[in-house]
Amino acid sequence: MSETAKPKVRLLNITVQPFSDITSSARTCYSSKGIVLPKDVSEDSESNRFMPLVQSIYQAGHHTTFQHTHLQFSLENVSRNFIWSFLHSHPFYNSEQVSQRYVLVKKDQFYYPENLNDQELQLFDECYEYQIKAYKSLRKKLMPLVETEYLKRFKSRKGSKQCTTDVKKKSQEIARYVLPLGTTAYLHHTISFLTLMRYNRLCNSFDVPHEQKIVIQMMMDEVLKADPTIADVLQDPMDLKDTPEYEFMQHFTQSNADQFNKEFDDDLEGGYSKLVDYKVHGEKTLARSIRQVFALSKDSYTDKELIEYVLNSNSNKVLSETMNVNVHSKLMRSLMHVHYTFQKKLSHAADSQDQRHRMTPGSRPVLQSVVSDQADFIIPKLFELDSDLKTLYVDHMETIWEFFRKAKDLGMSFENRSYLLPNSLCLRFYESGDLLALKHKMEMRLCYNAQEEIFFASVDEAQEIFKVHPTIGQFLAPPCKVRSMAKAKPICPEGPRFCGVPVWKLSLDEYSRTI
């Protein structure tokens, strides 16, 4: 593995120092003299005398004091596999990551596990070379078809520079489905010190513990340079064999990925997402919670009147704000009592975006359990318009899985060969959310600019909610429709990124797109 391909971690910002932040906030709880500042601890010549206090509150599980220190890292040359499986699999972070949708991937942007032998290294080289060539080839071959579909929306842009740029980006967005999970990325990643401690404790967990351990240790080393004192509080990483996933897999050994995947897909009936559970009395509970906020009697207004007042942006102007302030509104928090659970199937590429909606959490799979030797991938809708391109795409997927099977025949661990799997890999999981979080997500993902799988999954979900809760479901819409109901200008908040379709005039049943 070349030097440039190794993970690189830098600590860009730290609020003060972990030990000073933790100690000062803990002492403030018991201070009769007011706020204890971090500098009061750092300037204390005997500040180490507070270590027993820090250790004591840590052992007791009083961890809120460990959240005051925030750490902004830059991470480079880390795999998409690791980012999806570990960095973005929880709600307590903020990331700004280079986009495969809009930024071209280059041939040197691939992750190599450190422990490959010569044969395995050669196979990695061959597979990665095949995938980058397929990516470049598909990107080029897709452009005429993408341009045709693009000009159906933007007839006046034919021959324009914007048309050329947009077509290239849309073509590479679709071509990226052949890229490996070992494709690297760079990102800003901000977490609290408590989250870093949790990372450290659980870095030896599925799916890629070796890479996780390397990167998390580098992150921790950066913090220890800034404050070596905190080493006295840290726990050693938990052994992989002690994690609940590993223990479960030892006791329940009859997993059958192919059979499970077929059963899951049969349940979905060809869709992206299906409602499998919800609060039956959701609309009644929502109306009751609205009444509770304002002390309204049962006979004052109907449930329908109250719900429509809250969810209609014409009466509730907060809904048309581009800044999501919903959770800060006492009235809007009544939406948190309505809850839905969906059964979903997305590609790894799409789910890597879907999981960024941290308030609609999902139970993502352990890849080792659900990936079989059979090619199992999502086909973007555009390929359905050209049978030759579709055949080429399917052939690429079968070839990639052949590399995956060859890696298995060489005795390579699943962890290492998982990096060869393509972005198109099917992921099946359950995802839940309350109405407050789901409404915001729908506004972002029912937009025609949203990634196509998330868009169609959101259409499925909005339609499913409408079936069981029509008073609620009628108000699940993209930003343009919400702003249109509020008579806000401009109707589309995307400016030059306007999708080209007056979606605010369409009913949910009329939503359709190929790009």
- Residue 410 pLDDT > 50: yes
CB 234 within 8 A of CB 224: no
Instruction: Specify the DSSP element, H or E, that contains 248.
Output: helix 244-251
pLDDT band at residue 5 under the 50/70/90 scheme: confident
- Residue 1 pLDDT > 70: no
- Centroid of chain to Cα 201: 22
- pLDDT recorded at residue 406: 98
Has residue 87 been placed in a domain? yes
- Residue 509 pLDDT > 90: yes
Has residue 195 been placed in a domain? yes
- pLDDT recorded at residue 168: 96
Q: Residue 183: which of 76, 114, 105, 116 has the closest Cα?
A: 105
The token pair that represents 133 in the structure block: 């060539």
CB 133 within 8 A of CB 433: no
Residue 456: partners with Cβ closer than 8 Å, 6 or more residues away: 272
* Edge-first strand listing for the sheet containing 8-14: 8-14, 70-79, 184-192, 94-97
Has residue 348 been placed in a domain? no
Helix (H, G, I), strand (E, B) or coil at 73: strand
Structural domain including 217 reads 3-99+185-248
Q: Do 18 and 69 belong to one domain?
A: yes
Q: Do 198 and 163 belong to one domain?
A: no
Distance CA 356, CA 392 (A): 31
Q: What is the mean pLDDT of residues 327-337?
A: 97
- pLDDT recorded at residue 438: 97
User: Which position has the higher pLDDT, 50 or 312?
Assistant: 312
- pLDDT recorded at residue 425: 98
Q: Do 93 and 189 belong to one domain?
A: yes
User: Which position has the higher pLDDT, 251 or 5?
Assistant: 251
Mean confidence (pLDDT) of the chain: 95
Q: Do 77 and 150 belong to one domain?
A: no
Has residue 55 been placed in a domain? yes
Residue 515: partners with Cβ closer than 8 Å, 6 or more residues away: 146, 149, 150, 170, 382, 452
Q: Do 219 and 205 belong to one domain?
A: yes
Distance CA 131, CA 400 (A): 8
Render pLDDT for 260-305 as a digit per residue (tens, 0 to 9): 999 999 999 999 999 999 999 999 999 999 999 999 999 899 999 9
- pLDDT recorded at residue 465: 98
- pLDDT recorded at residue 252: 86
- pLDDT recorded at residue 253: 76
Query: Structural domain tally of the chain?
Result: 2
Q: What is the mean pLDDT of residues 228-252?
A: 93
CATH number at residue 194: 3.30.1360.170
Q: Do 147 and 222 belong to one domain?
A: no
Has residue 363 been placed in a domain? no
- pLDDT recorded at residue 2: 44
Q: Which of 248, 263, 296 is the last residue of a domain?
A: 248
Q: Do 52 and 72 belong to one domain?
A: yes
Helices (H), 76-160: 80-82, 118-153
Has residue 328 been placed in a domain? no
Q: Do 176 and 202 belong to one domain?
A: no
- pLDDT recorded at residue 255: 77
Q: Which of 224, 248, 272 is the last residue of a domain?
A: 248
Q: Do 177 and 190 belong to one domain?
A: no
Distance CA 110, CA 372 (A): 23
- Residue 45 pLDDT > 80: no
Please give the sequence-ordered ranges of beta strands (E in DSSP) within 70-225, or none if there are none: 70-79, 94-97, 184-192
Q: Do 85 and 201 belong to one domain?
A: yes
Render pLDDT for 431-474 as a digit per residue (tens, 0 to 9): 999 999 999 999 999 999 999 999 999 999 999 999 999 999 99
Q: What is the dihedral of CA 49, 52, 55, 57, to 10 degrees?
A: -110
- Residue 46 pLDDT > 90: no
Has residue 130 been placed in a domain? yes
Has residue 213 been placed in a domain? yes
The answer, as to whether pTM is greater than 0.85, is yes
Q: Do 178 and 189 belong to one domain?
A: no
- pLDDT recorded at residue 42: 81
Q: What is the mean pLDDT of residues 207-232?
A: 96
Backbone φ and ψ of 14, nearest 5°? -140, 135
Distances from the Cα of 308 to the Cα of 52, 111, 303, 305, 317, angstroms: 55, 51, 9, 5, 13
Q: Which of 366, 393, 420 is the last residue of a domain?
A: 420
DSSP assigned state of 425: B
- pLDDT recorded at residue 322: 87
Render pLDDT for 177-195 as a digit per residue (tens, 0 to 9): 999 999 999 999 999 999 9
Q: Do 12 and 67 belong to one domain?
A: yes
